[in-house]
Amino acid sequence: MKPDTTLRYGTLTRLFHWGMAACYLFMFATALAWNLDGSLKFLIGAHKAAGVLLLLMTFARFLWALKNLRRRPEGSLKAKLGHLALYALMFAAPASGMARQFEAPFGAAHGALAFLLLLLVGGHIAMTVLHQRKGEAVLQRMA
């Protein structure tokens, strides 16, 4: 297992990044599916289970990021703030899903928070493409 270095993210960081990205895809795909076709509401069970797992993984990934902060590739202040905002929503979206489950007031924000996360991920991917086109090999650090 390769550790994080200032040139490249390590094995565990990359596993977290791409494994969780696949889980988020599953979360949005299931929500879209049952909203388009009511007979697919049975997917809500898997959505909740994967969502709780994502919340737990976010805790582990965030602690891992803090532990390795000084050994990671350098980023601009804007990139750091962008990643921090992503983390905030990676916590808030599933937490609000759980609140919705227990009919707590914060639960009403679940759809909006999930949509915000989706928007931010869109921006995150756009920034990756932009940097890549400028000749900065950011994708190679995470790939």
Q: Which residues bind ligand HEM (CB under 6 A)?
A: 13, 16-17, 21, 24, 27-28, 31, 35, 44, 47-48, 51-52, 54-55, 65, 73, 75, 79, 83, 86-87, 90, 93-94, 97-98, 100-101, 110-111, 114, 117, 121, 124-125, 128, 138-139, 141-142
How far, in Å, are 13, 90, 105, 118, 141 from residue 99 at the CA level? 29, 15, 7, 19, 36
- Smallest gap from residue 127 Cβ to ligand HEM (A): 8
Smallest distance from ligand HEM to CB 70, Å: 13
Quick one: 93 exposed, middle or buried, by C-beta within 10 A (0-12, 13-18, 19+)? buried
Question: Residue 35 and residue 50: Cα distance in Å, rounded?
Answer: 18
**Could you tell me the smallest distance in angstroms from the CB atom of residue 134 to ligand HEM?**
13
Q: Which of 102, 121, 97, 99 is nearest to 46 (CA)?
A: 97
Question: Would you say 106 or 124 has its CB closer to ligand HEM?
Answer: 124
In contact, 2 and 10? CB cutoff 8 Å: yes
- Of 106 and 128, the one with the shorter C-beta distance to ligand HEM is 128
